[in-house]
Amino acid sequence: MSKLENSIDKEIKQLVIERLKTIPRDKKLSIGGMGNFTVDELIKRVEKSDNVGQKVIEVQMEFLQSLKTGALLNE
């Protein structure tokens, strides 16, 4: 992995972590068939980039892409 790719990965992880921090700490989130997780658990999973963390990153990036293209606004 190049320095640029590594830098982008770190920035994406940080973006996802900051988005997760906006969720109330007492809430649990269900990640498909992977289980229910607290916000703190998800942040740790994103930091480690395990399977759950990768899924959270993927979902968040798809959501942001949908916002960018206006797909969520039926445009």
pLDDT of residue 68 exceeding 90, the answer is: no
pLDDT at 70: 83
Question: Under 8 Å CB-to-CB from 58, ≥6 apart: which residues?
Answer: none
Report yes or no: 20 and 56 within 8 Å, Cβ to Cβ. Answer: yes
pLDDT at 22: 96
CA distances (Å), origin 75, targets 12, 28, 29, 62, 71: 26, 31, 28, 16, 6
Q: Would you place residue 75 in the very low, low, confident or very high pLDDT band (cuts 50, 70, 90)?
A: low
Domain layout of the chain by residue ranges: 3-73
For residues 42 and 8, give the distance between their C-alpha atoms in angstroms, rounded to a whole number: 20
pLDDT at 74: 66
Over the stretch 12-65, which tens digit does the pLDDT of each residue have? 999 999 999 999 999 999 998 999 999 999 999 999 999 999 999 999 999 999
